[in-house]
């Protein structure tokens, strides 16, 4: 059995894209999969062997001690192909390639654009750092055997002959649990799943809940993690904070259960260089769960929402517009349910992992000469 290794220093071991989609798909295709990731200890889950490295306590530690630990674990894995997921691991990928290994770089985000909005980089330095990151990626990816890009926009930045587009669509049926409450019997809850931050609209979402009429009894249920962690202590005191419940970080069954109780899902990233061309997991996961979405009014997102008829778009910087969209869905459950059903059909027929996973397996077979 051919051994392959996935490497990450920044993601948790059960990351949706890395573990639940890519590693599981490759294990199902007959590969021996080792996942090197920050974790509390080694374990094997679903046939995937997780090789733990110490979780970092700071960004500096992640870039030094954690990266070094990933390098040592990668060498110990002695895999036929290495697939890494974080830009900070480019030096590890280069070292593995120079050691004669096959190496694939999985690009989740548009790094140069992402850097332009990083609050921990001084504004005068962001453009310079962004150019440096773009140059590093450009040179390094001409050394690697393959690039896996999460969106068409990202794929356009890399050499077409060695780049494969593997989009982050849901697996069919994974977010539908038997026994989910009928839509018209659900409480007036709207859900948000994922990283919770100012840039992803937490302040505006909470404010929008505070603007809704009291008779709607609407509630925002958050599932994920706060960035920074201090936000968890702050948001209950904001206007609308009394209408928010925090469910914590959930596994895939927990996410499915939450969405199976919700009336709508929110994905309201604020304008940023890296957001307009993104394809956020949660947009397609809400669709897969059969609930209508309220999404940022970015051209790409509007196109998906309007072509499928799966929900509404709103100005993510305008709590009144968000509140109006949520109120429309809660006041019109029959219309909202039809939107959710259309979104689910779109995932079943178009926006699903089946074709994406096949492209990943075909890339491996080509690189490994199978």
CATH number for the domain harbouring residue 112 = 3.40.50.2000
Residue 117, pLDDT score: 80
* pLDDT score of 133 more than 90: no
Report if residue 283 sits inside a domain.
yes
Q: Are both 230 and 277 inside the same structural domain?
A: yes
pLDDT tier for residue 123 given thresholds of 50, 70 and 90? confident
pLDDT, mean of residues 166-175? 92
- For residues 206 and 59, state if they share a domain: no
pLDDT band for 41, please (50, 70, 90 cuts): very high
Strand 219-226 vs strand 146-149: parallel, antiparallel, or unpaired?
unpaired
Task: Check residue 300 and give its pLDDT.
Answer: 94
Mean pLDDT of 259-265: 97
Cα–Cα distance measured from residue 297 to residue 325, given in angstroms and rounded to the nearest whole number: 12
Dump pLDDT digits (tens) for 22-40: 999 999 999 999 999 999 9
Per-residue pLDDT band for 223 (boundaries 50, 70, 90) equals very high
Per-residue model confidence (pLDDT) at position 235: 84
pLDDT mean over 320-333: 97
Residue-level pLDDT at 328: 97
Length of the chain (residues): 370
The answer as to whether 98 is a domain residue is: yes
Kindly state the percentage of the chain with pLDDT values over 90.
79
Position 150 pLDDT exceeds 80: yes
For 5-21, write each residue's pLDDT tens digit.
999 999 999 999 999 99
Residue 33 sits at the vertex; the CA angle it makes with 29 and 36, to the nearest 5 degrees, is: 150
Candidates 15, 13, 101, 103; CA nearest to 49 is: 13
The answer to whether residue 73 scores a pLDDT higher than 90 is: yes
In terms of domains, do 148 and 216 share one? no
Query: What is the average pLDDT score of the chain?
Result: 94
Q: Which residues contact 160 (CB under 8 A, 6 or more apart)?
A: none
Average pLDDT over residues 330-338: 97
* pLDDT at residue 174 in the model: 86
Q: How many whole angstroms from its chain centre is CA 340?
A: 21
Single pTM value for the model:
0.91
pLDDT attached to residue 57:
87
Q: Which of 122-136, 142-156, 284-298, 351-365 has the lowest mean pLDDT?
A: 122-136
| pLDDT reading at 45 higher than 80 | yes
Within-domain flag for 178: no
- Please indicate, yes or no, whether residues 104 and 201 belong to a single structural domain of this protein: no
Range of the domain at 190: 183-349
CA distance 13 to 44: 11
% pLDDT > 70, the chain? 100
Q: Are residues 249 and 138 in the same domain?
A: no
- Mean per-residue pLDDT for 224-251? 91
Q: Are residues 109 and 228 in the same domain?
A: no
| Residues 105 and 136 reside in one and the same domain | yes
Per-residue confidence (pLDDT) for residue 164, from 0 to 100: 97
Total domain count, the chain: 2
Decide if 114 is inside a domain: yes
Mean pLDDT on 61-87 = 96
Query: Residue 285 phi/psi, 5° resolution?
Result: -70, -40
Is residue 54 within 8 Å of 40, Cβ to Cβ? Answer: no
153 and 196 share one domain: no
Residue 174 within a domain: no
pLDDT at 274 over 90: no
Are 160 and 261 in a shared domain?
A: no
Could you tell me how far CA 34 lies from the centroid of its own chain? 21
> Is 190 domain-assigned?
yes
**Domain shared by 125 and 234, yes or no:** no
């Amino acid at each position: 059995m051919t051994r392959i290794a996935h490497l990450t220093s920044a993601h948790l071991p059960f990351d949706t894209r890395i573990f639940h989609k890519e590693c599981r798909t490759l294990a199902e295709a007959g590969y021996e999969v080792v996942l090197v990731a920050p974790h509390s200890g080694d374990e094997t889950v679903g046939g995937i062997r997780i090789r733990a490295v110490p979780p970092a306590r700071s960004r500096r530690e992640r870039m030094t001690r954690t990266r070094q630990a990933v390098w040592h674990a990668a060498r110990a894995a002695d895999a036929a192909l290495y697939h890494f997921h974080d830009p900070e691991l480019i030096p590890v990928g280069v070292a593995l390639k120079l050691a004669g290994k096959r190496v694939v770089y999985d690009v989740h985000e548009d790094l140069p654009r992402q850097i332009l909005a990083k609050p921990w980089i001084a504004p005068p330095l962001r453009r310079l750092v962004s150019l440096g990151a773009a140059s590093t990626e450009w040179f390094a990816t001409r050394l690697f055997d393959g690039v896996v890009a999460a969106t068409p926009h990202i794929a356009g930045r890399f050499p077409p002959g060695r780049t494969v587009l593997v989009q982050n669509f849901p697996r069919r049926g994974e977010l539908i649990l038997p026994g989910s409450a009928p839509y018209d019997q659900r409480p007036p809850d709207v859900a948000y799943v994922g990283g919770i931050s100012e840039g992803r609209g937490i302040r505006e979402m909470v404010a929008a809940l505070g603007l809704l009429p009291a008779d709607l009894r609407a509630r925002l249920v958050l599932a994920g993690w706060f960035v920074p962690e201090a936000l968890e202590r702050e948001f209950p005191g904001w206007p609308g904070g009394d209408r928010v419940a925090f469910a914590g970080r959930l596994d895939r069954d927990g996410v499915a259960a939450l969405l199976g109780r919700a009336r709508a899902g929110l994905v309201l990233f604020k304008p940023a260089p890296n957001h307009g061309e993104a394809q956020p997991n949660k947009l397609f996961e809400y669709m897969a769960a059969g609930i209508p979405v309220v999404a940022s009014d970015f051209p790409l997102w509007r196109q998906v929402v309007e072509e499928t008829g799966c929900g509404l778009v709103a100005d993510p910087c305008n709590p009144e517009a968000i509140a109006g969209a949520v109120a429309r869905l809660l006041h019109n459950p029959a219309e909202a349910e039809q939107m959710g059903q259309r979104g689910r059909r779109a995932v079943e027929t178009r926006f699903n992992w089946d074709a994406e996973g096949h492209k990943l397996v075909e890339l491996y077979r080509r690189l490994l000469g199978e």
